[in-house]
Amino acid sequence: MRKKMLAGIVAGVLMAGAGFGMLSGQAQAAEAAAQNGRPDKPPVMRGHQGGERHMKRMNPDEAAKRLNKTFGVSEAEVKAAFKEKRDFRDIGQAAMLAKVSGKSFSDVLAMKTKDKRWPEISKELGVKPEQIRAQMNELSAERIAQRGNIDKEQALSLLNKGYRAMDVSVAAKLAKLSNKDIQTVLDMKKINNRWGDVAEQLGVDRSALRPNMGKGQFPGHGPQGGSPDGGEMPEEK
């Protein structure tokens, strides 16, 4: 599961550079559909499939710039990895783990072999799950803030309390549209209602949320209405 989360956040970072948004590491329409009434299916994996297809078509220069900006890895080393035909998922995970562990990108990527998986590498590097989560929250908060409904510090505080990126993003939008405090809006989301229902209670038209979800879909079956696996939020156009 840690590998899936890591791949998802990296996919979100790369796609954000090409105009696709986080959280997300983070996770497009398929993930929103999974969150809307089918929580038994891992939404992270469904969202990542579409993200991976886009990443495969991404210009290596764009990916290198995005990874450099986000994780501080050398653009030249990332480009060299692409040139060596290294798997784009491995490049992204190596960039993430390099930042968290303090090791060089090249050294971390070199640890990945056909017989060694990323969970083993994370353990060898001494990277703990909470470090991965902290990094994911940081990236998620940055992407949520880019939408202009909440600042990064407040988004990060809510994520660190356990709220999912999807819920923070949608609640921030509803709070802004209804002139309510975001915590008040989050408290209105229960296990047995959806964000569309909350919008109506606040006097906000459900259609205001549709840029976040697929047509006619509103997430709403996790503890705060989001993904049970903490998946990323879909794109807001």
Give the pLDDT of residue 44. 30
Region 155-177: mean pLDDT is 95
What pLDDT, on the 0 to 100 scale, is given for residue 210? Answer: 74
pLDDT grade for 212, boundaries at 50, 70 and 90: low
Tokens of 152: 């990064």
pLDDT at 209: 86
Distance CA 220, CA 2 (A): 23
Distance CA 56, CA 89 (A): 10
- CA distances (Å), origin 176, targets 159, 183, 227, 233: 18, 12, 23, 18
- pLDDT value at position 145? 95
Q: How confident is the model at residue 37 (pLDDT cuts 50, 70, 90)?
A: very low
pLDDT at 11: 54
Return the pLDDT at 179. 96
Of 109-118, 179-188, 204-213, the range with the lowest mean pLDDT is 204-213
Range from 3-7, 23-27, 111-115 carrying the lowest mean pLDDT: 23-27
Q: How confident is the model at residue 107 (pLDDT cuts 50, 70, 90)?
A: very high
* More confidently predicted of 194 and 234: 194
